Amino acid sequence: MEAVPFGACGNRFIKISTGMNKILYVFVAFFMLQMGAFAQTNFEELTLAKALEKAKAENKLVFVDCYTSWCGPCKYMLNNVFVLPEVGAFFNEHFVNVKYDMEQGEGRYLNGRFHVRSYPTFLMIRPDGAVQHRIVGSRKTENFMECVKRGAEERTSRYYLEKLYKEGKLDVEQRTLYRKSLEDAGDRDEVKALTGEEFKQLSDQEKCLPENWYLYDQDEVGPQDERFAYVLAHKADFDKQIGKKVVDKRLYDNYYGLLTGLKSNAQVDDLFAFLSKQLETVDFVGKEGILLSLHFVKAQNSQNIDDMLCLLEKDVQNLPHAFLWKAPFLDFIIEKGSEEQIVRYVALEERVINALDNDKMKNITKEFFAKYRSKLN
């Protein structure tokens, strides 16, 4: 029987017969396939009905990855999280795993059935078809697995805790877990409502304690919320208990989020006086930028060219990021402004470019101001 070289150890070749070599290759290939199966999450090609049948037979939940072909965060989870051995080991033990493109085939039906609003959405479904837990959005592995493990355990899942909440039977620990289940699902309005209830149940002393900071540390608790007003009224206490840097950042982020999200002139008119008066009562790092943003939004929405030009000429370099990026695209100045006003606007080009920190935006700004200059010729 002819012998062929298979490998080497030092300078000596190990020779194995051709027949044995083929057997060994088959064994190695089989072993590698098995290792691959256990090394990552095993998504099976099953209809949801078949997956539920299998889950019932194996005493598992069905895990559904709701994705779309164009979704970047979906691809991140598939290529960076579900492929990890520790993730695959947990998922393959506890779930029947399936994934559906929400714009194709059965996915289109499931998208409506389970009210999927954004991608990726991950569902943990009981064998009877009820959703036990929902996770919305991509996450880093550690955080994702924390959410998954809460959802996989019935007594820490939203399915179980929501029943207790509706019956008024949540204890303190369960209330925290219920809030986390709402956060997992991205149900921000429900988180806001729940924490608003908790806020009203606390004494003034308790409201400033570090363990209750989560009641205020939310994007949805904006300047018109009573909890936001409470932080402003007791800022010295919060600075001492939580830390001034943390409190200032939360105030800045909530003002900034409100101003960048305004949609209509009516909203601006209603809010301008309120926010101006409120901002007079408090100091925090970044307040100057918020005041500039407030005046920028008012001038833009009212299309007051002189007010906008005065603001830009004085403080364009101090505008917060989102409003600085709008500075090159104020078409109402070009469309409605006098020649003198357009000249003043075009003269700001170099200052706007120098304030930007993005090369692509700088080039776009140059193109737009070149068009503006052409209107003067």
Q: What is the set of domains in the chain, with CATH numbers?
A: 3-39 (no CATH), 48-163 (3.40.30.10), 318-377 (no CATH)
Question: Residue 35 has what DSSP assignment?
Answer: H
- Phi, psi (5° rounding) for residue 248? -60, -40
Percentage of the chain modeled with pLDDT above 70: 89
Q: What is the mean pLDDT of the chain?
A: 89
Q: What is the pTM of this model?
A: 0.76
Q: Which residue in this structure is represented by tokens 């001034």?
A: 244
**Residue 84 — left, alpha, or beta (φ > 0 → left; ψ -120 to 50 → alpha)?**
beta
- Contact assessment for residue 136 and residue 121, using Cβ atoms and an 8 Å cutoff: yes
Question: Residue 43 has what DSSP assignment?
Answer: B
CA distance linking residue 127 with residue 356, whole number of Å = 54
Q: What confidence tens digit (pLDDT) does each residue in 77-110 have?
A: 999 999 999 999 999 999 999 999 999 999 999 9
CA distance linking residue 125 with residue 95, whole number of Å = 9
Segment holding 79, helix H or strand E: helix 72-80
Q: What is the DSSP string of 269-332?
A: HHHHHHHHHHHTT---TTHHHHHHHHHHHHHHHHT-HHHHHHHHHHHGGGS-HHHHTTGGG-HH
Predicted confidence band at 262 (pLDDT cuts at 50, 70, 90)?
confident
Instruction: Tell me the CA distances in angstroms from 24 to 20, 27, 30, 70, 368, one per residue in order.
Output: 6, 5, 10, 42, 67
